[in-house]
Every structure is written in structure tokens, then in C-alpha cells.
Structure 1
């Protein structure tokens, strides 16, 4: 019968790469550690590590099992923290996922608010592509995540909180749009666009909006799923993009990039706070969820989160 200690031993070996370092970390003899791993591999019917003179690396089966082991250990820690928090302030670790294009708006205000309201909570923010965040949330590697409501959130418990207006963003050296206050969606789609690859970020939202409006799909010049690379590509004059302005706010305010809101029809993305359906939230994660909703509302109402409306 698989035991929690075997999962802890397995994770320690995976993290440290050698049996000797892992044995020291979990405070047992190396021979006992090897014996426990052998029992675990026998029960699973698969080798979890490849051995070499330099140490060990995860096999394909080991990498898959590692995701589940981390999730199980996290849930055990959450359960312990929740029980101990019944009569005192929430405490423990909370892992919160943010898409690249939302972190500029939300990351620092959320960190500050959690520090002030929940001083015993250790908030860990991870910035990833939305497709990766979806997988990690399903696997239980994240407690909470911000995702975009593209019609694919049925696997999660989600709460749509913010609507962000999309704009065409382009190098200021492009003089053709001087004096304009907006751009039609049809014209925006026809521009040489740099967009995230499917299924990340705004790409499925833009393509779905084009389909519903009876318009041609976007004219994609390049698939770039990194905000920093996208920013550099725009500044180099390689193309344009369709995004909310917040991820590129500094460049727009400095005059390096320009933006025009999209009209006819207006295109928005809906930002949702999500968690896994099958994993209960710890007391600490529930508290962070409430703080996140409050922060998002304040950012929208104070117009700090540009072109965003709180709809929660």
C-alpha cells in the first residue's frame, strides 16, 4: 500500500537529483531511501528514475507521477493548515497562477494586499501561458489561477470578474492612423498581426469574435506567446497586435507604441478567477481568493487597470 512518506521520498529524490542529498533532506539512511523507492516502483509497475554516475533523472513515468505526487502532498498540507487555522488567522502556502498579459495589472497589487491582510499566508505567484496554467490547475499544482473566459472553463469552478476592452496596438512610427480615435474590428484583423499561438492568451477569443462577426480570421504574421518578445517585435516595427493596453501600458504612455480601441464590434476579453472542481480550497487559498476579488474590483474602479470594468 502506497504511503505518504514514499511520496515525500520520491519528491525529494526528484528535486535533489541524488539519493545521498535526498536522504539527508528527509533524514533517513540512503539504503532505507532506496528500499522505499524500490517498493514504490514495484507497486506502480514502472521505473521512476534513470540512474547514472552523475545522479538520477525522471523517466517519462516518473515525470507523470511527480505531478500527481506534488498535488497529493499539497492537498495534505492544505488539509493540515485548514484544520490548524480554524481558531486563528489563515496560514500556509498559496500558489496563484497569472497569465503574462494580466500580471502587469494584478501581480504587485495582489502581493501587497495579501501581505497586509493575510500576514501568515505565503503567496507564491507563477506567471505562465494560459494553456500551461489550465493544465497545472487541473493537476492540482495551483490553488487558484486567472484564466480567460473563452468558453472552455467548464472543468473549473470559475467566477468572471473583469471585462477588458481590446485595442489595436502598433508602432508610433506608423503615421497612417494619426487623428483616428478607434479602428474597426475588420480593419484590425487585416493588419499584419503578431499574436499568441493557439490555445494561449487572446488568440482563441479573437478568432471566435471574428467568426461570430462574419469576418475573415486574423492576418497572423507571427505566433509569439511571450509578452517580452511581443513587445520587442512591436518596437522593432515587425507588426501590430490585438491586446488590452495594460500589458504594454508603459510603452504606450512613453509614446513608443500607440493604441486604438476596436469598434464595430467592440472586442473584449473576460477575466475569470478559477480553481479546480475536484480539489477543495484550503482556508488560506479561500482567503487569498477573497482578497484577489477585492483587489481586482478596486483596480477597475480606480481606473488603475486601464480599459477594464469590474463585472463580478
Structure 2
């Protein structure tokens, strides 16, 4: 019979990328990790992880979400039992890069001040990954974009703006139509926000034809800084911009609402409720820098 320990070993190997690293996280030896995984693989009848390099197999990728969901439920059960102190434990929080850079430091400070026994482990991904992690149990809570009303406390509101070099003719001007940027190559990050950028082009009646699509925001900003094109970003990304780049408002923009949410289709970890309550009580719904100007 599959045990929780075997599942923890499997997930730890995938998350850390190695047997020794998984052993360090779990507080056990590399040989014990290897034995537990081998036993699990024997029970399921398939290899779950390639050994060199350590990469999840096709069968492992199919079973991984179930392993995560099982562990999330087990951890939540353990935290909810009367014998446990309900103010200590670890919560996995999924965030997008822009939320992680601008919102998470403030949230972590707030939570550490009022609930020092709750440790937060961050998982960073794009909008789709964050929602998937929350649904499957890889994350206990997440900062969600444009979630349904009532999902959780609002932690920020922002809007999309054009990002150009500071020497661009339109940099720092009044709000501009998206069409004014049509002659500039469009650079887009695939790590979230691309659906909104598509929608901005649809609203403006413009074809969506990115010249380059990259994942990392730092790469995207470096390309704009090198004069290879322009991009569109939410205002939460503003503090990440290097000195040579500027944000300019769009005449017809899209606004986002970012919410701290718990799972909608499974019981939430008891400690997540504490974080939601603290956030609702102490954080302004206008976000870290006040409302975004219209």
C-alpha cells in the first residue's frame, strides 16, 4: 500500500531536483530516499523519475498532481486535529512574478508580525500555473488575477501600461492609444499577462502579432532596454523596471484585481484561513501604492 512517506519522497525529489537534496529537505539519508522511491515505483508498476538527470517521467507527471493533492489533504487534516496548535505550520503560496516582486514582501511582513508561527513557502509561475497549483494541491493559497467575487481579500488593483525606453517619442506622454505603438515590434512575456495583452489588441481592433515571446520578465525588459521593441505590463511591474525604461498610460487599458484565494474545490488548510483573515483586516484593497489612476 502506498504511504504518505513515499509520496513525500516522490514530491520532494521532483521539487528539489535530486535525491540528496530531497533527503536534506525531509531530514533523511539519500539511500532512504532512493529506497522509498524504488518501493513506490514497484507498487505502481512504472518508473516515476529518471535518475540521471533527475527528471519526472511521463507516468510520474501523470501521478504527481494526485500525490500533491493527497499530501495537501493529509497536511490539512493534521493541522485541523484538536491535538495540533492551529497557529503553527507551513503554507505554500503560489504567485506570479509581478505579484511576487511587489506584493509578497508586504504580505510576508504582515503575516510574520501577526502570525509568526506560520511559515510561507513561495511557488512562482504564470497565471495558468498558479491556478492549477491551487486546484491540484501543489499550493495551499494563491494570489489570483480577476478571481470571482468572494474568493478572498483583494490585495491590489493595477492596470496595463506601455513600457518603452525613456528616449522613445511616446515615453512619459499623456495616455496613448495602443495603435500608436503599432509600428514598434511587440515583445511579450509568456509568464502571465499574455491573455490580457491579446484582449487589449482585440479591443483596439489591432492584430496580435508579437515579434518575440519570452518567459522571463528580466529578459523581456532587457530586450526593451536594448531597443528591440516595446511591451505592455501591469503597473505592479513598475518597480522592476531598470532606469532606462518608462511606463506610459494607455487610453483604453485593462484593469486587474488581485485576490488572495484559497482552494474552491477542496478543503483549505486551516492556517490559510488565518492568513486570509489577517489580510482582510490589515491590508488596503487598493494595494501597496494606492489606487491606480484612471
TM-score grouping bracket, smaller chain normalisation: 0.7 to 0.9
Structure 1 residues 1-312: aligned runs within 5 Å: 1-8=1-8, 10-11=10-11, 17=19, 34=35, 40-49=40-49, 58-84=56-82, 89-149=86-146, 158-159=151-152, 161=154, 162-174=156-168, 176-177=169-170, 180-188=173-181, 191-197=184-190, 200-211=191-202, 213=203, 215-249=205-239, 251=241, 254=243, 256-263=244-251, 265-294=252-281, 296-297=283-284, 300=287, 304=289, 307=292
Q: CA deviation at 1:238?
A: 1.6
Gap change, CA 1:308 and 1:293, over 3 Å in 2: farther
| Higher mean C-alpha displacement, 160-169 vs 37-46 | 37-46
Task: Work out the number of aligned pairs and report it.
Answer: 288
- 1:21-51 CA-to-partner distances (Å, cap 9, x unmatched) read 69x9558x96xx85x7666445433233556
- 1:97-121 CA-to-partner distances (Å, cap 9, x unmatched) read 1111222220110110010011110
- TM-score normalised per structure 2: 0.79
Q: CA deviation at 1:187?
A: 2.3
Gap change, CA 1:233 and 1:122, over 3 Å in 2: same
CA distance in 2, matches of 1:158, 1:295: 17
Stretches of structure 1 lacking an aligned partner (at least 5 in a row): none
Q: Is the 8 A contact 1:101 1:247 kept in 2?
A: yes
CA distance in 1, matches of 2:78, 2:277: 21
Q: Is the 8 A contact 1:157 1:276 kept in 2?
A: no
CA distance in 1, matches of 2:5, 2:254: 51
- TM-score normalised per structure 1: 0.75
CA distance in 2, matches of 1:177, 1:9: 54
- 1:112-135 CA-to-partner distances (Å, cap 9, x unmatched) read 001001111011122222232233
Q: Is the 8 A contact 2:158 2:236 kept in 1?
A: no
Aligned to 1:124, the other structure's residue is in SS state: strand
Aligned to 1:108, the other structure's residue is in SS state: helix
Aligned to 2:46, the other structure's residue is in SS state: coil
CA distance in 1, matches of 2:62, 2:274: 30
Q: Is the 8 A contact 1:148 1:201 kept in 2?
A: no
Q: Which has the higher strand share?
A: 1
Gap change, CA 1:147 and 1:189, over 3 Å in 2: farther
Q: Is the 8 A contact 1:41 1:48 kept in 2?
A: yes
